[in-house]
Structure 1
Amino acid sequence: MSVEDTYFDSLFKGNDDPWAMRDRWYEQRKRALLMACLPRRQYRSVFEPGCANGETSAELAGRCAALLCSDTAAAAVALTRQRLQGQPHVRVEHGRQPQQWPAGTFDLIVLNELCYYLDSAALDELIERALASLSADGQLLACHWRAPIEGCELDAEQVHRRLRHKLPMTHLLQHEEPDFLLDLFSRDPLSVAQHEGLA
């Protein structure tokens, strides 16, 4: 069974940064790596489910024409809205994934520290919904902490193995560290250098 909403609600009770995304060097560095791994300077439309308090959302907002963020915790939605207020190209919604996957087409979907909270069936549904909403040249970036998380059926290795198996897309990038895994999948098989005529 996927982790319940009440778990995430409890994390945000009296704490606007339960994973210390703002202050920990680990999180700051990982976020910088995540952004550097995106092969395009600018995206048309980005979806970030599981946005937490909006630390990664704030970085993504500068790289796209339209950003949709969502989270299952109402407090996380409120924090992200506050963080990104005054940016009309950003929308933040309250919703549980994959059940409340949004309508629309995205050329980038960012699954950041999200998928191990799902059970196997929910992860398969999320992958199907992501594929259905990706544009013809769409990309999917996944990044997950490798240590086991109590109460979760899946770990980072299982999540990324499943993504590699089920996504019929070019595997453009893989970054592996003792702490986390990062993979980028793309319907556009060309590298950055190929796009610029250098390879």
Structure 2
Amino acid sequence: MSLDARYFAELYAHHDDPWAFRTRWYERRKRDLVLACLPQQCYQRIFEPACANGELSALLAERCAHLVCQDIDPTAVSLARKRLAKYRHASVEQARLPNDWPSGQFDLIVLSEVGYYLDANDWLQVIERSAASLSETGGLLACHWRHPIAGCPQDGREVHARLARHVPLYPLLRHEEADFVLEYWSSQPSLVDLDETC
């Protein structure tokens, strides 16, 4: 994570939901769109770095057999663990991107609201590690606020422009609104899951 850990510690020092993930309609609607854009009903293994307090994580846990979550902030990790307590197949680790990347392959990697906290070099490493960690039918979903954020090295437009230039995957979906962009890339040019059982 290119921004200093104190940036996030200060946010969580004042509120356990600093981005209002639980209460804002914008955030709830965006989570619904993220889930609706996933081309498979069920994934074997999902990785969600920068999971914050676990609001999206809990919904991803309903769509997979194993979920690996990470966050740089210890308060966020504690909150996400509480949020995911009923999902025995979910784990939350304190980790810093891009260095603390989990081992193994994933069928889905979700990069939601994380890219602008990384400088261009660190973000490129995340892109490369994501592509290298995907299974043969794996997918990468990215969703970011499009406007500049004070103190962040990139904005959402730059984050997705770098993804488009550097990710060696097939673009399957792009949803863009005035405030955010959501994209999905796949290891395969088409994904139609005929086995819809979890």
Taking structure 1 as the reference length, the TM-score comes to 0.95
How far apart are the structure 2 equivalents of 1:57 and 1:88? 13
How far apart are the structure 2 equivalents of 1:81 and 1:155? 29
Partner of 1:36: 36
Partner of 1:74: 74
The reply on whether 1:4 has 2:10 as its aligned counterpart is no
Deviation, structure 1 residue 14: 3.7
Contact (CA 8 Å) 2:71, 2:93: kept in 1 or not? yes
Give the AA of the match of 1:139.
G
Matched residue of 1:91: which SS? strand
Aligned counterparts, 1:11-90, within 5 A? 11-90=11-90
Q: Deviations over 1:155-181 (max 9, x none)?
A: 111111111111111100000000100
Deviation, structure 1 residue 86: 2.6
How far apart are the structure 2 equivalents of 1:176 and 1:138? 22
Contact (CA 8 Å) 2:148, 2:155: kept in 1 or not? yes
How far apart are the structure 2 equivalents of 1:113 and 1:41? 23
Partner of 2:190: 190
Contact (CA 8 Å) 2:45, 2:65: kept in 1 or not? yes
How far apart are the structure 1 equivalents of 2:156 and 2:18? 20
Partner of 1:146: 146
How far apart are the structure 1 equivalents of 2:39 and 2:59? 15
How far apart are the structure 1 equivalents of 2:154 and 2:14? 28
Deviation, structure 1 residue 3: 1.1
Partner of 2:96: 96
Matched residue of 1:13: which SS? helix
- Of residues 46-55 and 79-88 in structure 1, the stretch that sits farther from structure 2 once superposed is 79-88
Give the AA of the match of 2:111.
L
- Of residues 161-170 and 47-56 in structure 1, the stretch that sits farther from structure 2 once superposed is 161-170
Stretches of structure 1 lacking an aligned partner (at least 5 in a row) = none
Give the AA of the match of 1:97.
L
Partner of 1:135: 135
Give the AA of the match of 1:34.
V
Paired residue total: 195
Matched residue of 2:184: which SS? strand
Matched residue of 1:140: which SS? strand
Taking structure 2 as the reference length, the TM-score comes to 0.95
Give the AA of the match of 1:107.
D
Deviation, structure 1 residue 137: 1.0
Deviation, structure 1 residue 107: 0.7
Stretches of structure 2 lacking an aligned partner (at least 5 in a row) = none
How far apart are the structure 1 equivalents of 2:14 and 2:79? 12
Deviation, structure 1 residue 40: 0.2
Q: Deviations over 1:42-65 (max 9, x none)?
A: 000000000000000000000000
How far apart are the structure 2 equivalents of 1:118 and 1:88? 31
Partner of 2:165: 165
Aligned structure 1 segments of 4 or more residues deviating by more than 6 angstroms:
none
RMSD between superposed Cα atoms in Å: 1.4
The reply on whether 1:178 has 2:178 as its aligned counterpart is yes
